[in-house]
Amino acid sequence: MSYEWFFIIIFLMLLAAISTRYIPLWAKALIGVYYGIVAILFITLTNRINRKYEGITPVPNAYWTENSSWVYTVSNLLFLPFIGILIFIYFNWIAKVRSKMAKALIVLSLIPVAFIVFIFYFFFNLAYGYRP
């Protein structure tokens, strides 16, 4: 299984969390460790599930069920904390800005950000947890 998109998603999440000035350094380190552990667990357990059903044709329904439920769990472990981080960043960003126009533009920028996060969530589940 190819994990390029998985690493791209993790990289973008870490980039968003680490590049902000609203999160202290110790929290940035904690976020990095958390996503590193989730990445290692995802790859290890996904490979274990794939080896368990390797060489069995046709692929049994048990594989699809086990793989899909694991991917859905990991997608929640990845994206729900990231959404919380984004909410924290946006809240602090809005609180620091003084003009109403800037606040309105920041709130307006939530629309494309939410759309992009949803697209990544959808495609992560589709690419790694597809179940025919």
pLDDT, tens digit (0-9, with 9 covering 90-100), for 14-57:
999 999 999 999 999 999 999 999 999 999 999 999 999 988 88
Per-residue pLDDT reduced to its tens digit, 61-112? 999 999 999 999 999 999 999 999 999 999 999 999 999 999 999 999 999 9
Q: Tell me, what's the pLDDT at 130? A: 83
- Contact assessment for residue 45 and residue 70, using Cβ atoms and an 8 Å cutoff: yes
Note down the domain range covering 42: 4-129
Q: Tell me, what's the pLDDT at 17? A: 93
Dihedral sign of CA atoms 112, 115, 121, 127 in order: negative
- Distances from the Cα of 66 to the Cα of 32, 38, 43, 55, 128, angstroms: 27, 18, 14, 17, 12
Extract the tokens encoding 4: 């390029």
Q: Tell me, what's the pLDDT at 56? A: 87
Extract the tokens encoding 110: 């939530």
**Domains in the chain, number:** 1
pLDDT above 70: residue 132 = no
Model pTM? 0.89
